[in-house]
């Protein structure tokens, strides 16, 4: 009976090499897309390079390093170099901390500069709502990024979930590059959410085609993305939220 069950399990599971190939290709696509968003934006709008501050530069450097490290980690996993993969995993944790810390400082610095030039006037209700949207969506995005990364670490002994959580963390960081493409193409803001959903849909389709089931790690990650998307168009657009955010920032 046990032998029969094991045979069935093996028959519905995708080969490790096929699994690794899919996630490596998808991670490469995400990385190229994100990097291209910044590069194309700088080519079309070279004056934006002059607006790069120290914190923007550091945040961008750490983020780029994390994406490149993710690709290398997937490559190492695919080739069986697990010892090196494990050692470099500690570096990825440091990069995640650096991304979040520099990102928070970067956004708060941006908010203060916009206030100083009059674009975010704390006495203007609409400006407060815009400020609440910026702070809320960005901070929740990084919070979810951190949660997905931690879930990946907690599931490091289960490669199926470990890879899906780490890739989901990379997807969670896509808006920073996707936003540039959206603005350049003149598309509405929700187009970014549709693009990200399509990437999740590709993972769901892969899981169903190869194993005839959906992994809980994929569904959990998708649920957090839905939470972010819903919050952007509900809570973070409310006047109450904007007023609270500006009040909190004014006390810093």
Q: What is the pLDDT of residue 6?
A: 39
Q: What is the pLDDT of residue 18?
A: 62
Q: How confident is the model at residue 15 (pLDDT cuts 50, 70, 90)?
A: low
Q: What is the rounded CA–CA span in Å between residue 114 and residue 116?
A: 5
Q: Whole-prediction pTM value?
A: 0.86
Q: What is the pLDDT of residue 99?
A: 94
Of 236, 251, 252, whose CA–CA distance to 128 is shortest?
A: 236
Q: What is the rounded CA–CA span in Å between residue 141 and residue 133?
A: 12
Q: How far is CA 8 from CA 4, 58, 199, 210, in A?
A: 6, 50, 29, 13
Top pLDDT among 170 and 45 is at: 170
Residues contacting 89, CB < 8 A, separation 6+: 73, 153, 156
Q: What is the rounded CA–CA span in Å between residue 211 and residue 12?
A: 5
The pLDDT of 25-35, averaged and rounded, is: 92
Q: What is the pLDDT of residue 16?
A: 54
Q: Is residue 75 within 8 Å of residue 24, measured between CB atoms?
A: yes
Q: How confident is the model at residue 46 (pLDDT cuts 50, 70, 90)?
A: confident
204-238: pLDDT as tens digits:
999 999 888 899 999 999 999 999 999 999 999 99
Q: What is the rounded CA–CA span in Å between residue 66 and residue 135?
A: 23
Q: What is the rounded CA–CA span in Å between residue 95 and residue 117?
A: 32
């Amino acid at each position: 009976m046990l032998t029969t069950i094991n045979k069935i399990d093996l028959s519905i599971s995708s080969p490790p090499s096929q699994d690794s190939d899919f996630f490596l290709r998808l991670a490469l696509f995400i990385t190229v897309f994100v990097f291209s968003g910044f590069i194309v934006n700088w080519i079309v709008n070279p004056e934006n390079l002059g607006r790069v501050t120290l914190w923007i530069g550091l945040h961008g450097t750490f983020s780029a390093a994390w994406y490149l490290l993710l690709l290398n980690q997937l490559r190492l996993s695919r080739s069986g170099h697990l010892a090196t993969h494990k050692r470099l995993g500690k570096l990825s944790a440091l990069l995640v901390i650096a991304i979040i810390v520099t990102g928070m400082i970067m956004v708060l610095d941006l908010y203060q500069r916009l206030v100083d030039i009059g674009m975010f006037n704390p006495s203007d209700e609409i400006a407060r709502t815009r400020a609440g949207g910026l702070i809320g969506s960005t901070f929740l995005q990084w919070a979810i990024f951190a949660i997905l990364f931690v879930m990946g670490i907690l599931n490091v002994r289960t490669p199926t979930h470990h890879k899906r959580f780490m890739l989901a963390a990379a997807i969670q960081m896509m808006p920073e590059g996707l936003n540039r493409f959206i603005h350049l193409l003149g598309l509405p803001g929700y187009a970014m959410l549709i693009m990200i959903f399509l990437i999740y849909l590709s993972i769901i389709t892969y899981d169903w085609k190869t194993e005839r089931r959906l992994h809980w790690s994929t569904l959990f990650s998708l649920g957090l993305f839905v939470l972010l998307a819903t919050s952007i168009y509900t809570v973070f657009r409310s006047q109450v939220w904007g007023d609270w955010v500006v009040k909190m920032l004014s006390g810093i």
